[in-house]
Structure 1
Amino acid sequence: MKMKASCIAVCTLLVLLLAKTEVTMAVTCNPTQLSPCVSAMTSSNPPSSLCCSKIKEQKPCLCQYLKNPNLKKFVDSPNARKVANTCGTPFPKC
């Protein structure tokens, strides 16, 4: 009986842990990964699918880029935000 109760407790704990677990992928923050977006950010050209995929990949890094004075003017431009929104990746609130 004691073993059955222990097994139930362990199973319950595993279910709770798995329900709370989020699968996340490690992202390497590298602003050069956004280079496919340069033409869309500096003109009225629509973003390419490669640009959109790179913005989605780098989204966890955007706040970090905004804190860097050398990158902020590029990443925080109205066109950059427009491109991100067009790609379905609105900027996070930092």
Structure 2
Amino acid sequence: MKAAYIVVFLLVLLAAEQAEIAEGVTCKPTELSSCVSAITSSTPPSKLCCSKIREQKPCLCQYLKNPKLKKFVNTPNARKVAQTCGTPFPRC
């Protein structure tokens, strides 16, 4: 009987883990629109910008591989904004 509870508990944990993976990050470069002014000028990034950079961090390599997005994402200012937000720039 105790083993059955353990099995049910493990199944619940696995299901919860799968739900988190399924919810994951949706890579949408438009999510970084709140960072445009910080990247294109010398204004500091907003809290929203920083939260979006952290949220989209798993997508940054994908953005860097896209020629249309690379010139926006791979700039000294974009790197500075990421650093200011405490998000290390990825090495892809």
Give TM-score, length-normalised by structure 2: 0.77
- Residues 23-38 of structure 1 mapped to structure 2, 5 A cutoff: 26-38=24-36
Task: Determine the C-alpha separation between the residues in 2 that align with 1:92 and 1:43.
Answer: 22
Q: Which position in structure 2 is the counterpart of 1:89?
A: 87
1:67 is aligned to 2:65: yes
What RMSD over aligned residues (CA atoms) do the two structures have, in Å? 2.6
- CA offsets per residue over residues 32-51 of structure 1, 9 Å max, x none? 00000000000000000000
Runs of 4 or more, structure 1, over 6 Å off, are none
Give the counterpart letter for 1:54 in structure 2: K
Q: How many residues align?
A: 88
Which has the larger Rg?
1
Task: Determine the C-alpha separation between the residues in 1 that align with 2:44 and 2:90.
Answer: 21
Higher helix share: 2
Q: Which runs of 5+ in 2 are unaligned?
A: none
Q: Which runs of 5+ in 1 are unaligned?
A: 1-5
